[in-house]
Structure 1
């Protein structure tokens, strides 16, 4: 099985679905994280180029911690837009990777990059199976898309994955993003929800776990409601 997470920024996979990715990697599945941007807007006292390099290195270290491969696209942080060209970029990426399952952002999210990424991935998921749409890679048909989100949106998980045995790996991966742990905790304002990042992620996973009778869980909403057996 091949699991691919398509995320807007380098730390998104670890925060929202790191336990699930680590769980699949641990059982021998192929896991890839596709980063739309290098998160070059998420910092201070540096340049965009310097921060992009830092965050790419952090993302690679975090992906390795989870047991995943890292792939970087060249979209610009805070400037991901919806277009046919960008949709086709995602089609090509999915066809190259040929995943069985795709994870990405829920459509309702405060961050514009998250919202646009969700739409691009959803539409690319459909289009990557079309035989008359020609790209360098052959058409493929992933089984399903699963969306992850956060409490600030209307996101209400329908599928809960027990990540109790992999939550410590998730936290270790999050801590690889040293620049972002500092940024999110000091930025304040609209990012105040991330104060105490690791502690907050742990608390949310524990709350979700209680709904399933486990210690820690991650939640998802499947695109196809009757096909949630692929993720677990």
Structure 2
């Protein structure tokens, strides 16, 4: 299968979904990590142009840990909007990945970039397979009913998973991928008083408690017309 994770910022994938992607990669599926923005605004000291370059390099290093493909959206950080221009970018991301399964941010996430990325995926979902959408740079992909899953949000606030993935055996690989985002550890400590390793440990352990394992990632499936499945597709 083609597995696609689309997030707003570099490191969102590693925090919220990396364990599941590691499992897919180990099972031989094709994994693509798409980052919609350039992550250039996430530091109080480093200039945006320099930071954006650093964050793309960090993303590619993290993806290389599991042999995943990277799609770099390049939209300005903190400037995601569900408009026509950005929908066209999202359509091409979906066409390039041609996904069977899509992971993205939940509608109740805390950050507008996160919420709008999820909205853009919803809006672009059918258009990825329609060949006559004007202005697209890539041809239509399969008009398949890719299953869409919403990832947990930071802190799990107001998010009630309906499905879990046991990431106990791959948790150290998840940490290895997150460690590639060196620029974010100091920034998150300074700006949000947050240690990234502590954050993913606590959240994965809490979700694991509910799921009956040591570490887990939680998801909700977006059920809509022609998108439901009769079998589980998560690993």
Indicate yes or no: 2:168 matched with 1:164.
yes
Q: Is the 8 A contact 2:7 2:34 kept in 1?
A: yes
Q: Is the 8 A contact 1:99 1:142 kept in 2?
A: no
Q: Is the 8 A contact 1:26 1:67 kept in 2?
A: no
Pairwise mapping of residues 210-221 of structure 1 onto structure 2 (< 5 A)?
Answer: 210-221=209-220
2: CA distance between counterparts of 1:111 and 1:103? 17
Shift of 1:142: 4.3
Query: Which of 132, 146, 151 pairs up with 2:149?
Result: 146
The residue aligned with 2:47 is 47
Pairwise mapping of residues 192-207 of structure 1 onto structure 2 (< 5 A)?
Answer: 192=193, 195-207=194-206
2: CA distance between counterparts of 1:76 and 1:152? 26
2: CA distance between counterparts of 1:142 and 1:58? 32
Q: Is the 8 A contact 1:109 1:115 kept in 2?
A: yes
Indicate yes or no: 2:233 matched with 1:230.
yes
The residue aligned with 2:3 is 3
TM-score (norm 2): 0.90
1:128-147 deviations in Å (ceiling 9; x for gaps): 23354354312422421111
Shift of 1:67: 2.9
Q: Is the 8 A contact 2:33 2:71 kept in 1?
A: yes
2: CA distance between counterparts of 1:60 and 1:142? 28
Extract unaligned runs of 5+ from structure 2. Answer: none
Shift of 1:38: 1.7
Count how many residue pairs are aligned between Structure 1 and Structure 2. Answer: 227
1: CA distance between counterparts of 2:48 and 2:74? 13
2: CA distance between counterparts of 1:170 and 1:139? 30
Aligned residue for 2:5, secondary structure, equals strand
Shift of 1:122: 1.3
Q: Is the 8 A contact 1:91 1:125 kept in 2?
A: yes
Q: Is the 8 A contact 1:19 1:169 kept in 2?
A: yes
User: RMSD between aligned alpha carbons?
Assistant: 1.7
2: CA distance between counterparts of 1:105 and 1:80? 13
Shift of 1:19: 0.2
1: CA distance between counterparts of 2:96 and 2:68? 16
1:38-90 deviations in Å (ceiling 9; x for gaps): 21011132210000011111111111123311110121100111112211221
Query: Which of 149, 156, 179 pairs up with 2:183?
Result: 179
2: CA distance between counterparts of 1:104 and 1:179? 23
Extract unaligned runs of 5+ from structure 1. Answer: none
Shift of 1:196: 2.1
Pairwise mapping of residues 1-232 of structure 1 onto structure 2 (< 5 A)?
Answer: 1-133=1-133, 135=136, 136-140=138-142, 141-150=144-153, 151=155, 153-188=157-192, 192=193, 195-224=194-223, 226-227=228-229, 229-232=232-235
TM-score (norm 1): 0.92
2: CA distance between counterparts of 1:25 and 1:86? 29
Q: Is the 8 A contact 2:175 2:197 kept in 1?
A: yes
